[in-house]
């Protein structure tokens, strides 16, 4: 590319010395680049005399193509630079289904109004995907442990609640300690690290593991919520999903004095280096949107 730049500048300026001035280098360097380009191509590009410089037939053909290539590269660099400063282009986002529907979907119209040059491509699934391998720019995760493979920015924290519907408690009784749970109909979330083990924290924060014999297993938070509301089982769910049900009394918190570990809502992306404007803007937008959220 440097040789193309030198060659086209020599032609445009009409001489080696003028090209050297334009490119802020020495005439010797200009001569070397042109000679190396001719050697590489195996053709003479310029007819040079002490008074006159002219293009050969091969030189004329190369000049038009080389100039077009340099212009294309300049346009590509300008587009890349603009993309690093201004949010634009397609933004692929992966997020959990229930959280995406309840808490992300209402935000998208406002984001698009603020950044009309961004095209959103939103994929909702509770399956954990590889962001890089599957081609996502940004992932939203509900996690206790963060991520070792990606940059993670916390957007919010949600409490988890062990709960059941009043009709379940009327039919099967109220557990009074964690040791009672294996004898109850329990519903577990299969995407949890250990679905059949619930870890509860006592008043001092000491964890107690309880192994269950689940009555229902599901990979869907909405399914778990629906079955719990129907009185089919005890479950634990994040308050961003069941907060309104608890507030109305449709689900009742269980085991006072015990709690479940909180979980974080995280924005994940591959690297801080050369972060595109569209990803940076979206992460900042979401962080601001959830800044005062309490679940």
Condensed to tens digits (0 to 9), the pLDDT of residues 183-214 reads: 999 999 888 888 899 999 998 889 999 999 89
Only one residue has tokens 């509301």, namely 229
pLDDT score of 80: 62
SS3 for 158?
strand
Q: Is the model more confident about 126 or about 223?
A: 223
Position 84 confidence tier, pLDDT thresholds 50, 70, 90: low
pLDDT score of 1: 85
Has residue 111 got a pLDDT over 80? yes
Work out the percent of the chain whose per-residue pLDDT is above 90. 51
Give the CA distances from residue 218 to residues 125, 159, 198, in Å, rounded to whole numbers and listed in that order: 14, 20, 15
What is the distance between the alpha carbons of residues 275 and 98, in angstroms, rounded to a whole number? 28
* Residues 201 and 208 sit within 8 Å (Cβ to Cβ): yes
Q: 293 CB contacts (<8 Å, ≥6 apart)?
A: 156
pLDDT score of 78: 58
Return left, alpha or beta for 171; rule: phi > 0 is left, psi -120 to 50 is alpha, else beta: alpha
SS3 for 96?
coil
pLDDT score of 205: 86
pLDDT tens-digit series, residues 44-82? 999 877 677 888 888 888 988 888 788 777 666 655 655
Strand partners, 186: 234
pLDDT score of 129: 80
What is the distance between the alpha carbons of residues 220 and 217, in angstroms, rounded to a whole number? 9
pLDDT score of 136: 87
Q: Is the model more confident about 193 or about 241?
A: 241
Q: Locate all alpha helices (DSSP H) within the chain, ordered by sequence.
A: 2-13, 16-23, 27-41, 57-85, 97-99, 108-114, 166-172, 221-229, 239-248, 277-289
What is the distance between the alpha carbons of residues 181 and 214, in angstroms, rounded to a whole number? 10
Q: What is the mean pLDDT of the chain?
A: 87
Helix axes 27-41 and 2-13, enclosed angle (nearest 10):
110
What is the model's pTM?
0.66
pLDDT tens-digit series, residues 118-131? 999 999 988 878 78
Token pair in block for residue 283: 């992460």
User: At 205, phi and psi to the nearest 5?
Assistant: 85, 10
**Strands 138-143 and 89-95, bridge-based pairing:** parallel
Q: Mean pLDDT lowest for which of 140-154, 159-173, 186-200, 271-285?
A: 140-154
Has residue 225 got a pLDDT over 60? yes
Token pair in block for residue 30: 């200009």
> Average of pLDDT values for 150-177?
92
């Amino acid at each position: 590319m440097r040789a193309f730049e030198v060659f086209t500048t020599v032609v445009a300026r009409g001489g080696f010395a003028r090209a050297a001035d334009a490119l802020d280098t020495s005439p010797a360097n200009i001569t070397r680049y042109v000679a190396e380009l001719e050697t590489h191509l195996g053709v003479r590009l310029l007819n040079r005399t002490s008074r006159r410089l002219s293009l050969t037939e091969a030189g004329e053909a190369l000049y038009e193509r080389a100039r077009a290539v340099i212009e294309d590269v300049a346009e590509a660099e300008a587009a890349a630079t603009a993309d690093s400063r201004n949010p634009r282009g397609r933004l692929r986002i992966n997020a959990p289904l229930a959280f995406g529907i309840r808490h992300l979907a209402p935000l998208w119209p406002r984001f698009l109004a603020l950044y009309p040059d961004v095209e959103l491509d939103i994929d909702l699934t509770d399956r954990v995907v590889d962001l890089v391998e599957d081609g996502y720019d940004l992932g939203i995760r509900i996690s206790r442990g963060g991520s070792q493979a990606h940059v993670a920015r916390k957007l919010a924290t949600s409490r988890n609640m062990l709960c059941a519907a009043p009709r379940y408690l009327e039919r099967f009784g109220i557990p009074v300690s964690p040791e009672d749970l294996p004898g109850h109909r329990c519903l577990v979330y299969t995407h949890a690290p250990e679905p059949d083990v619930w870890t509860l924290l006592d008043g001092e924060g000491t964890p107690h593991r309880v192994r269950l014999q689940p009555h229902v297993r599901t990979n869907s938070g909405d399914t778990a919520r629906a079955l719990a509301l129907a009185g089919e089982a005890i479950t634990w769910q994040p308050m961003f999903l069941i907060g309104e049900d608890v507030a109305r009394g449709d689900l009742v918190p269980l085991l006072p004095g015990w709690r479940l570990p909180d979980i974080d809502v995280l924005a994940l992306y591959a690297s801080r280096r050369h972060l595109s404007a569209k990803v940076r803007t979206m992460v900042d937008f979401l962080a601001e949107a959830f800044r005062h959220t309490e679940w």
